[in-house]
Amino acid sequence: MRTKLYVLYGGKSVEHEVSLKTAVTVLGSLDERRFEIYPVYITRDGSWCTPEQHTLKDLTVERLIVQPKFHDPAASIGEILSGVMAMPGDKVVLPLIHGSNGEDGTVQGLLELLNVPYVGNGVLASALTLDKAMSKQVLAQAGIRQTEYLACRYEEWRTDQKALLLQAEDSIGYPCYVKPASLGSSIGISRCTNRGELIAGIREAFSYDKKLVIEREAIGREIQVAVIGNDKPLASLPGEFIHDHLFFDYESKYMDKRLAMSIPAELPDGLTQRIRTLAIQAYQAHGCEGLARVDFFLDEAGQLYLNEINALPGFTNFSMYPVMWERTDGTSYSELIEQLIGYAISRHKDKQTIQYRK
């Protein structure tokens, strides 16, 4: 019998559209001879629903959007869990939800309670990697270099804006970047060169999250590494996007058709292996399993800084993660998805040996 594969996409997140783009590509690559595939769409309001009929041929973003029968999330989730996900047989879940309410450990916690295997990171690693402020503390504890930063909660800003501005200017300076703590795809991020821009950037970030980070700008190149695996993870050859944007924002990442990938990135002797080693160290420090993309800055002086870890990197045709593996060891897109499913099943089997009674 084929394994039942439940593909979750959409989500209550500002990265909803990114998830849809990922889902189109992933669903179109799956082997229906091996998997019985059930797409599960999560609306912007958090309701779960499945297409009554679906085909993986000629998929579009529009065809993946479904109107829910129940607009109450609890009722809709209950229908999915007691319906298609309760069918007997081997099953595995493939979450493709970027950002909040999906990449942050919330969905992973539900799947743990259901005791079903799922692709990607567990509850703790998902929460840590999405929260940039917490992730930076983990990196500092692991002794991995990163740029100077300042974390701030909304209540601190509301209570004493002047003190925060002075602290940011004294410890970080300009130019700096303001980022919502728990978002990806460069959404809500501002590059600030003076106090006016800093105030506007802080307000923008707080519209997406109740916590933010302010980081010193590292002028140079952004190098990415794909990591895969559970207990013995592997790192790909590093890659980078070649572009002329001062700030690589959401529009630059997803709308600029001139972007070019350089894989492997042209790096000085010895630096490629060092980056791969550091990527695995950061991956393990966060307790990651399954997959993650680790991003570095290489500044003009040759100093290397770890920027962030993305626990659910994009899987569109323009995404770096799958292409890095194809150019590292020849793994095709569909083979990569099946490897990730294999890691999920293996991790789940290992967890079944844990004892919950004396």
Which pair of structure tokens corresponds to residue 179? 């980022």
> In this structure, are strands 3-10 and 35-42 parallel, antiparallel, or unpaired?
parallel
**310 is an annotated ligand-binding site residue:** yes
Retrieve residue 156's tokens.
């601190």
Question: Tokens for 150?
Answer: 């300042």
Rounded to 10 deg, the angle between the 161-171 and 195-206 helix axes is: 120
Q: Is 15 a catalytic residue?
A: yes
Q: How far does the chain reach from its first CA to its final CA, in angstroms?
A: 36
Tell me, yes or no, if 319 is annotated catalytic. Answer: yes
Closest among 349, 346, 348, 321 to 336, alpha carbons compared: 321
Rounded CA-CA distance 179/130 in Å is 12
Catalytic residue of the set 185, 190, 215, 240: 185
What amino acid occupies position 99?
G
Greatest alpha-carbon span in the chain: 64
Active site residue 17: no
Phi, psi angle pair for 154, to nearest 5°:
-60, -40
CB 24 within 8 A of CB 7: no
204 labeled binding residue: no
295 a known binding residue?
yes
Distance CA 28, CA 31 (A): 9
Query: Where does residue 335 rank: exposed (0-12), middle (13-18), buried (19+ CB within 10 A)?
Result: middle
Distance CA 168, CA 171 (A): 5
List 13, 15, 19, 79, catalytic entry: 15
Binding-site residues for Mg(2+) sit at: 295, 308, 310
- The catalytic residue positions are 15, 185, 319
